């Protein structure tokens, strides 16, 4: 195997790990991307509590994937890294908080 190809494979596998983290380990994604504002257990901090939210998983997923211009930052825009599929995995996790 050429050195270039080997490096290419490493880069590819690393990027696969980081893009699938949302779906595979939503708890870790929540911790790194959301907990700072919503609290480690979804109890709320500068952002509202997500624990026991009345929003459905689909509404949460849509808020993350598309953003809502009526909401305050950061949710007035698409949340960085949140595709529809990843956002759904995270939203399902939030409903378990
Ligand atoms: C920079 C701080 C910040 C980060 C990071 C953040 N949020 Fe928020 N979030 C807020 C604020 C502030 C609001 C309230 C916005 C409003 O009502 O206008 C909010 C609202 C929400 C709501 C709506 C709650 C409700 O009942 O109306 C959901 C769901 C939500 N955030 C999920 C997430 C998720 C999931 C992440 C991680 C991917 C995340 N947030 C990251 C600050 C943050």
8-41 pLDDT, tens digit per residue, is: 655 555 555 455 677 788 999 999 999 999 999 9
What 8-state DSSP symbol labels residue 55? S
Which domains occur in the chain, in start order?
A: 22-94 (1.10.760.10)
More confident residue, 69 or 5: 69
What residues contact 57, with CB distance under 8 A and at least 6 apart?
88, 91, 92, 94, 95
Percent pLDDT > 70 in the chain is 80
* Model confidence pLDDT, tens digit, residues 39-48: 999 999 999 9
The Cα 55–Cα 63 span in angstroms is: 10
Cα of 84 vs centre of ligand 1, distance in Å, is 16
Cα of 21 vs centre of ligand 1, distance in Å, is 20
The Cα 72–Cα 59 span in angstroms is: 16
Q: What are the backbone dihedrals phi and psi of residue 90, each rounded to the nearest 5 degrees, phi first?
A: -70, -40
Give the model's pLDDT for residue 37: 97
Tokens for 81, please give them.
């890294």
> What does pTM read for this prediction?
0.84
What 8-state DSSP symbol labels residue 58? H
3-state secondary structure 16-48: HHHHHHHHHCHHHHHHHHCHHHHCCCCCCCCCC
Mutate to test the pocket of ligand 1, among 44, 48, 93 (most ligand atoms within 8 A of CB): 48
Mean of per-residue pLDDT scores for the chain: 87
Mean pLDDT computed over 63-82: 95
pLDDT band at 81 (very low <50, low <70, confident <90, very high): confident
């Amino acid at each position: 195997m050429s050195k270039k190809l080997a490096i290419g494979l490493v880069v590819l596998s690393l990027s696969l790990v980081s893009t699938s983290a949302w779906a595979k380990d939503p708890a870790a994604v929540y911790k790194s991307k959301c907990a700072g504002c919503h609290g480690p257990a979804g109890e709320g901090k500068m952002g509202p509590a997500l624990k026991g939210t009345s929003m459905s998983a689909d509404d949460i997923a849509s808020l993350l994937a598309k953003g809502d211009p009526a909401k305050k930052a950061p949710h007035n825009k698409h949340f960085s890294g949140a595709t529809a599929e990843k956002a759904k995995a995270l939203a399902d996790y939030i409903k378990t908080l």
